[in-house]
Amino acid sequence: MSESSAAQTATKTPIDYADHLTISCSVSDLERAVAWYRDLLGFELIYKLDDMGWCELRTPWKGISIGLGQSETPTTGGTTPVFGVEDIDAARSHLESNGVRFDGDTQVIPDMVKLATFYDPDGNPWMLAESTMPETERGA
C-alpha cells in the first residue's frame, strides 16, 4: 500500500489524536542531555523551561519531538523508540566514535532489518533500524 493510500484509509480510533508525538525521557543533567541529543543525533532545541527542568527537541520526523525532563534519579527503560536510518553502519560508526554505548553487535534479520540498540548518557535506550526488505515487499 502506498503512503497516500494508507493516509486515505486511516484507521478510525476512539481517540481524536493530534498530529504530534512527544517521546519523554528522564535525564539527570538537562544541559548535558540537550547537548548530547543536539550534537550526536542532530536534534534542534524547540524550547527549554529551566524552572521546570523540561525541554523539547525537534527531530527530522514531522510531528515527533523528544521531551527531556530533569530528575535527581532518572528512571530509564520502559519503551525503546526506534529511529529508521538509511545506513545503520554509518550511523553506528558516528555514535561509537563519540563514545556512545551500544548493546552488543548489530542484529541482522535477513531480508528484513538490521537493528542496533544504544544508550544516552543516562541509560535511556534507543534503537537504530535499517530496512533490508526488498523494495517490492516494502510497498515502495
End-to-end Cα, the chain, rounded Å: 8
Whether the pLDDT of residue 120 is over 70: the answer is yes
* pTM, two decimal places: 0.81
pLDDT recorded at residue 1: 45
> Which pLDDT band holds residue 139 (cuts at 50, 70, 90)?
low
- Asked if 51 contacts 96 with a C-beta cutoff of 8 angstroms, the reply is no
Q: What whole-number distance in Å separates Cα of residue 43 and Cα of residue 36? A: 9
> Which pLDDT band holds residue 28 (cuts at 50, 70, 90)?
very high
Q: What whole-number distance in Å separates Cα of residue 109 and Cα of residue 131? A: 10
- Asked if 130 contacts 88 with a C-beta cutoff of 8 angstroms, the reply is yes
Kindly report, residue by residue over 42-66, the tens digit of the pLDDT: 999 999 999 999 999 999 999 999 9
- In order of their start, the domains of the chain are 21-72 (3.10.180.10), 76-140 (3.10.180.10)
Phi, psi of 126 (to 5 degrees): -140, 160
